[in-house]
């Protein structure tokens, strides 16, 4: 759960940085913001996949123990 929050925060930080770059016409800041946002999204997707795999593994163990 902590990783999800951290990844979500990184995504929002990137969005904010990109918007600040838009407002100031700072292309470098825009690029950095996009990069941070995409990194947060990718990490979030990876965490969701990891959580789902763990859940499926637990279900399989439970089914075997019945």
| Torsion sign, CA atoms 37, 39, 42, 48 | negative
Within 10 A of 33 (CB to CB), how many other CB atoms are there?
21
User: Measuring CA to CA, how many Å separate 56 from each of 5, 20, 30, 39?
Assistant: 22, 41, 39, 26
User: What percentage of the chain reaches a pLDDT higher than 90?
Assistant: 79
User: What percentage of the chain reaches a pLDDT higher than 70?
Assistant: 98
pLDDT in tens, 1-19: 688 899 999 999 999 999 9
Domain ranges of the chain: 1-18+43-61
The whole-number average pLDDT for the span 41-46 is 94
The whole-number average pLDDT for the span 52-61 is 92
């Amino acid at each position: 759960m902590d990783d999800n929050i951290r990844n979500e925060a990184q995504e929002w930080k990137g969005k904010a940085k990109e918007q600040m770059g838009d407002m100031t016409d700072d292309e470098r800041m825009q690029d950095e913001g996009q990069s941070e946002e995409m990194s947060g999204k990718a990490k979030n997707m990876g965490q969701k996949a990891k959580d789902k795999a763990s859940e499926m593994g637990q279900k399989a163990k439970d089914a075997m123990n019945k």
